Amino acid sequence: MAFDLKGKRIYVAGHRGMVGSAIVRRLSSEGCRILVASRSEVDLARQSDVEIWMEKNRPDAVFLAAAKVGGIVANDTYPADFLYQNTMIAANIIHSAHEIGVEKLLFLGSSCIYPKFAEQPIREECLLTGALEPTNEWYAVAKIAGVKLCQAYRRQHGNDFISAMPTNLYGPGDNFDIQLGHVMPALIRKAHDAKLSGAGEMTMWGTGTPLREFLHVDDCADACVHLMKVYSDDAPVNVGSGTEITIFDLTQLVADVVGFEGGIKPDLSKPDGSPRKLMSSEKLRSLGWTQKIALREGIADAYKSFLRDRRLDFAREDAAGLHDFRDI
């Protein structure tokens, strides 16, 4: 039976992140009351903070989009942060949701929960059938714990907790930090900077041969809301676009959208990570969902949001007297 969001109190955990903010945008047309908690109000890694907030606000449903995320180098450099924070956030929110009788919860995982050499396209049944990709196994273990918590509370207590596994996401609100961000925002920023400085080339990490699947975050948010309404089972559901691209071709595409006409220089000191990570989203499609945003159009939208955020940053810095000219 469909879960109706209308009139419900819906908590979006992680509302300031790229995925959480997209879910908030998407929910605005659902006639529900959206609940959010600021970081100063609730540290989601602290059990007592979460318990007190949940008890006081008593949401009917929860989108668990809060997480510490980052690109391949961030994952590899801060294993303790990625494992500890993501495990605590998942355990605290899922347990509290059970305690206060939340009707439905959707946990967001990641495609990196699947084995490094999983058969492609990767089906949901592949979970825990092989070793993980070492660069992000810490994050993956925490996300697997989240999936298992949803399954365990469903099995032991009958809670309607489900989980969705998005592929590599991008879009407005992404982290455009070159060192810590994922490939898409990093390439957008590098192409933009290279265009502005008139550089002859931009850097691409690794060999450029790995294949990745990308989905715009607004499509992901739409899929999550759809699953919240129609899905109720213990198996996770993959959320992907079904198409993949090599990192080299992606770099060229980003350069083209941004308008950088120079060359691409591989930095072989950086890891490639998984050779391929295409998920099967057959199950999601059989539940009646399809994506709307094509890759090129999505990259243009992400670039637009990057420029908008930069203008805001520069306006703030201008106001503080830090710039003599605008260079974005």
| 204 scored as a contact of ligand GFB (CB under 6 A) | yes
* Among positions 71, 146, 240, 242, the unique one binding ligand GFB when judged by CB under 6 A: 71
**Which of these segments, 17-25, 67-75, 147-155, 319-327, binds ligand GFB (CB under 6 A)?**
67-75
| One-letter amino acid of 90 | A
User: Which CB sits closer to ligand GFB, 111 or 159?
Assistant: 111
User: Which CB sits closer to ligand GFB, 228 or 247?
Assistant: 247
| 68 scored as a contact of ligand GFB (CB under 6 A) | no
| 238 scored as a contact of ligand GFB (CB under 6 A) | no
* Among positions 92, 96, 168, 305, the unique one binding ligand GFB when judged by CB under 6 A: 168
**Which of these segments, 40-48, 68-76, 304-312, 316-324, binds ligand GFB (CB under 6 A)?**
68-76
**Site for ligand GFB (CB under 6 A): how many residues?**
25
| 163 scored as a contact of ligand GFB (CB under 6 A) | no
| 241 scored as a contact of ligand GFB (CB under 6 A) | no
User: Which CB sits closer to ligand GFB, 52 or 180?
Assistant: 180
Q: Is 84 a catalytic residue?
A: no
| Residues 113 to 152 in contact with ligand GFB, rule: CB under 6 A | 136, 139
Q: Which residues of the chain form contacts with ligand GFB (CB under 6 A)? A: 71-72, 75, 110-112, 136, 139, 168, 181-183, 186-187, 204-206, 210, 212, 247, 270-274
